[in-house]
Amino acid sequence: MNEKLLSLVEAYLQKKFGNNSIRLRQAANDPNMAEVYIKEEFIGTLYQDNEEGELSFDFNMSILGEDLA
């Protein structure tokens, strides 16, 4: 993902979740993946998909049972 795309998706997520602390960082090992953070806490991954010219993104967040306590 390029910087412009990262900025656009970051702004979308901030608006959608009402949280300006959401940040995206390009993953070092995959050009189609970004890491999602709230402040400095890693919360998930974001994957870019461009199948048949249709651009989409997939946000994945794991929630551990121990975090629910």
| pLDDT of the residue at 9 | 97
Tokens of 23: 């940040």
51: in domain:
yes
Q: Which residues contact residue 21 at a Cβ distance below 8 angstroms, ignoring those fewer than 6 apart?
A: 38, 39
Q: Which domain holds residue 22?
A: 3-63
Predicted model pTM: 0.89
pLDDT along the chain (69 residues), means of 10: 94 98 96 96 95 93 91
40: in domain:
yes
68: in domain:
no
Domain count for the chain, please give it: 1
38: in domain:
yes
C-alpha closest to that of 8 among 61, 54, 55, 42: 55
